[in-house]
Chain A
Amino acid sequence: MSSYGVFILSAYLVVLVVLGGLTIASLSARAKVRRELASRGLDRKR
């Protein structure tokens, strides 16, 4: 890449951190809530 490579790579790193972080947070929140439902016996199919 050119001398502007640092800006380009930083932009893609921002995407990875923000959207990747949101994806991980969303999946872990769902897993946590599901565990809580299961521990209370509320995880039956509705």
Chain B
Amino acid sequence: MADLHFLANPARFRRFSQRMLPGLTLATVLSLAVGLYLALLQSPPDYQQGETVRIMFVHVPSAWLSMAGYALLAVLGASLLVWRHPLAALMARAAAPVGASFALVCLLTGSLWGRPMWGTYWAWDARLTSMLLLFFLYLGHIALSRAYDDPDRGDRAAAILALVGVINLPIIKFSVDWWNTLHQPASIMRLDAPAIHPSILMPLLWMAGSFLLLFIVLVLVRTETEIDRRRLEIADQSA
């Protein structure tokens, strides 16, 4: 915890980020290359879904990261509103477009998976609709944080939206249990063992790890940019 407070200083965080990024970037590229090989070439077709199961290797990790990204926005929002954490607003500005992109990938790949499996690209099913709402919450966060001349006001408004919108995360997770949905129920994050054969589970977890690395790299790069951008704004104001 003490380390996290140490990183709350934007200049210290920037130095930490610059030390971490080269190694993380290399690990991301290598991990994605191996993950794509496993997902597209090495893993077997599913006994029911056939080759279309390969869409799952990008769809499911995108869904997990879009939800984790929004949880991160909520934590950063609370840090900003409660403790006025100097880095929280900058990191939230950096993370929102990354989370929105993963949500968009989840929606589009899900749609492309739905067409051959369900016979339709889209249905107003509880899981799909709550995921679409998550994407709109991200867009709202991005728009709100940039809607005011005073960036602090925009950051606080976006932080409130992040905290209010976090209620959507359990709705997404449990929508397949609470309502009759076209979307399949949870097959990995269950109380009992995953309902996926290890030969398909392993590439899926590998791709999830690769996407997580990419998420971290993108958030670090964009946070550095936001810190530098804020320095430029301060220089403009004092000129």
The stretch that binds A, out of B75-83, B102-110, B122-130, is B102-110
- Tell me the smallest distance from the CB of A21 to a CB of chain B, in Å: 8
A42 & B113 in contact (Cβ 8 Å cutoff)? no
Question: Which one of B52, B62, B222, B228 contacts A7 once the chains associate, using CB atoms below 8 Å?
Answer: B52
Count the B residues whose beta carbon is within 8 Å of the partner chain — how many?
37
B55 & A7 in contact (Cβ 8 Å cutoff)? yes
CA separation between A7 and B62, bound complex, in Å? 17
- Tell me the smallest distance from the CB of B97 to a CB of chain A, in Å: 7
Q: Which residues of chain B (84-112) have a CB below 8 Å from chain A? A: 97-98, 101-102, 104-105, 108-109, 112
The stretch that binds A, out of B144-152, B159-167, B229-237, is B229-237
Dominant secondary structure at the B interface: helix
CA separation between A5 and B153, bound complex, in Å? 48
A8 & B54 in contact (Cβ 8 Å cutoff)? yes
CA separation between A18 and B52, bound complex, in Å? 20
A15 & B105 in contact (Cβ 8 Å cutoff)? yes
Interface string of A30-42 (1 = CB under 8 A from B): 1001101100101
In the complex formed, the residue of B with least CB distance to A43 is B228
Question: Which one of B105, B109, B116, B228 contacts A4 once the chains associate, using CB atoms below 8 Å?
Answer: B116
For A23, the chain B residues whose CB sits under 8 A away are 214, 218
- Tell me the smallest distance from the CB of A16 to a CB of chain B, in Å: 10
For A18, the chain B residues whose CB sits under 8 A away are 101, 104-105, 108
- Tell me the smallest distance from the CB of A43 to a CB of chain B, in Å: 9
B58 & A11 in contact (Cβ 8 Å cutoff)? yes
CA separation between A27 and B218, bound complex, in Å? 9
B51 & A26 in contact (Cβ 8 Å cutoff)? no
Can you show 16 pairs from A to B with CB atoms below 8 A apart?
A: A2-B51, A5-B51, A7-B52, A7-B55, A7-B115, A10-B112, A11-B59, A11-B113, A12-B36, A15-B58, A19-B102, A22-B97, A27-B221, A30-B224, A30-B228, A40-B235
- A residues whose Cβ falls under 8 Å from a Cβ of B: 1-2, 4-5, 7-8, 10-12, 14-15, 18-19, 22-23, 26-27, 29-30, 33-34, 36-37, 40, 42, 46
Going nearest first, the 4 A-B pairs with the smallest beta carbon separation are A11-B109, A2-B51, A30-B225, A33-B228
